[in-house]
C-alpha cells in the first residue's frame, strides 16, 4: 500500500475496473438463437454461459479452474464454542488439507487446482465484542495477500472458507452493512445460535457509530480470512477472472466490495444457496441468483465446486452446439 491510509489504494481499485466483453456475450447469445431459441438448449444455464463469456472474452470454457479456500480463526468463536479456538481451527484446516472434505473429491473429479490459504490460524482475529477484529494495517495486509491468489493462472476461481468463527463474523458484517437485527443475520436454532446472536448484538453495540465505511465494517468484524477473500475477489476483477461464490462467509466478503461499488462484483456468480438461514437474504442484497439449492450446510467450497462442475458441463454443451 503506497498512498495515504492503508485502505486508500483498495478504494481506488474499486473505482477503475474492467468491464465485461459485450461482443463475446452477444456471440454466445447468437449461438443459442441459431440452434433454436424456442428449444432453450441450455435452459437456465444459458445466462451463466453468457456471463462467463463476457469475462473470458471468448466462447466460454472451464480449462484451468482453481478452488481456493481461505482459512482463519476468530476469537469471537469463544462465545459459541469455548476457549479452544486455535486447536479447533487447526483441526479443520488439517482435515481439509489431508483430503477429509467433500470439496477435495469434487476438485479431483474436475481436475481443478485446489489451494488452502491459511491466514494466521495461530493468531485469531480479536473478539469483536470488545474491540476491532483487525487494525486497519492488518486488514489491508490480509486483503493484499488475498490479491496474490489470482497469480495461479486460473481461468475461473471457486471460493470457499474454512475459518473458525467466520460465520459469526459474517453475520456481524452483514448487519453492519445492511442493518436489521442480530437474529435476522445470525439466526438458527439451539444454544450455539443463541450465543452467536448475542455476540453479534454485543459487537454491534461496541462499534456503533463506526460502521459507515464498508472497509471499516470489514476490519471491525471480519478476520484475515474474510479480508483475504475481499482481496481475491477484487484482484480477480482487475484480471477479468470470473468468481464462483460459495456460502454465507464468502458472500459476506463480496458484500463489502458491493457496498463500496455496486459494480464491483459483476464478475461473481452465486454457486449455490446454503443452509445458513440468512444466506439467501444476503444474496438478495447482492442481486445474485444462486445456481444451485442443495441445502449444503458447510461453506468450505463444496457448493461452489458443484456449481463449477455444472458450469463446465454447460460450456461443453455450448461448444457442441457451435460445432457445425
pLDDT of residue 190: 85
- Mean pLDDT of the 291-303 span: 94
Q: What is the CATH number of the domain that holds 120?
A: 3.40.50.10210
Note whether residue 300 is domain-resident: yes
pLDDT of residue 216: 97
Q: pLDDT tens digits, residue range 31-86?
A: 998 887 678 889 999 999 999 999 999 999 999 999 999 999 999 999 998 888 89
Question: Looking at the 3D structure of the chain, how many domains does it have?
Answer: 1
Tell me the DSSP string of 76-94.
GGHHHH-S-HHHHHHHHHH
Q: Is the pLDDT of residue 4 over 80?
A: no
The number of angstroms, rounded, from the C-alpha of 232 to the middle of its chain's C-alpha atoms is 9
Note whether residue 16 is domain-resident: no
User: Which of the 8 DSSP states describes residue 314?
Assistant: H
Note whether residue 242 is domain-resident: yes
Q: Is 294 helix (H, G, I), strand (E, B) or coil?
A: coil
* Full residue range of the structural domain in which residue 246 is found: 65-310
pLDDT of residue 1: 44
Burial class (CB in 10 A: 0-12, 13-18, 19+), 11: middle
Note whether residue 315 is domain-resident: no
Contacts of 65 (CB under 8 A, 6+ apart): 110, 112, 113, 154, 155, 156, 157, 158, 308, 312
pLDDT of residue 323: 66
Note whether residue 7 is domain-resident: no
pLDDT of residue 37: 67
The three cell numbers locating residue 304: 461452489
Phi and psi at 251, nearest 5°, equal -70, -30
Give 266's Cβ-side CA count (13 Å radius). Answer: 18
Averaged confidence pLDDT in the chain: 93
Amino acid at each position: 500500500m503506497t498512498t495515504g491510509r492503508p485502505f486508500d489504494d483498495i478504494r481506488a481499485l474499486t473505482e477503475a475496473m474492467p468491464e465485461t466483453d459485450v461482443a463475446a456475450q452477444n456471440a454466445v447469445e447468437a449461438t443459442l438463437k441459431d440452434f433454436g431459441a424456442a428449444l432453450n438448449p441450455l435452459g437456465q444455464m444459458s445466462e451463466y454461459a453468457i456471463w462467463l463469456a463476457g469475462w473470458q472474452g471468448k466462447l466460454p470454457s472451464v480449462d484451468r479452474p482453481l478452488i481456493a479456500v481461505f482459512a482463519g480463526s476468530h476469537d469471537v468463536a469463544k462465545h459459541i464454542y469455548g476457549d479452544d479456538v486455535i486447536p479447533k481451527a487447526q483441526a479443520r484446516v488439517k482435515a481439509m488439507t489431508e483430503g477429509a472434505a467433500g470439496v477435495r473429491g469434487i476438485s479431483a473429479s474436475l481436475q481443478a487446482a485446489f489451494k488452502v490459504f491459511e491466514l494466521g490460524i495461530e493468531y485469531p482475529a480479536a473478539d469483536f465484542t470488545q474491540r476491532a477484529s483487525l487494525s486497519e494495517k492488518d486488514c489491508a495486509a490480509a486483503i493484499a495477500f488475498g490479491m496474490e491468489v489470482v497469480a495461479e493462472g486460473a481461468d475461473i476461481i471457486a471460493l470457499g472458507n474454512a475459518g473458525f468463527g467466520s460465520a459469526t463474523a459474517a453475520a456481524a458484517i452483514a448487519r453492519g452493512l445492511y442493518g436489521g437485527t442480530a437474529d435476522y443475520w445470525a439466526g438458527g436454532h439451539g444454544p450455539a445460535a443463541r450465543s452467536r446472536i448475542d455476540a453479534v448484538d454485543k459487537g454491534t453495540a461496541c462499534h456503533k457509530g463506526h460502521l459507515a465505511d464498508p472497509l471499516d465494517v470489514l476490519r471491525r468484524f471480519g478476520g484475515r480470512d474474510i479480508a483475504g477473500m475481499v482481496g481475491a475477489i477484487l484482484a480477480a476483477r482487475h484480471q477479468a477472472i470470473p468468481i464462483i461464490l460459495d456460502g454465507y462467509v464468502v458472500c459476506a466478503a463480496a458484500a463489502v466490495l458491493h457496498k463500496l461499488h455496486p459494480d464491483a462484483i459483476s464478475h461473481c456468480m452465486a454457486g449455490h444457496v446454503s443452509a445458513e438461514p440468512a444466506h439467501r437474504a444476503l444474496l438478495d442484497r447482492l442481486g445474485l441468483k444462486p445456481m444451485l439449492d442443495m441445502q449444503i450446510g458447510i461453506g468450505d467450497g463444496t457448493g461452489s465446486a458443484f456449481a463449477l462442475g455444472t458450469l463446465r458441463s454447460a460450456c461443453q454443451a455450448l461448444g457442441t452446439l457451435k460445432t457445425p
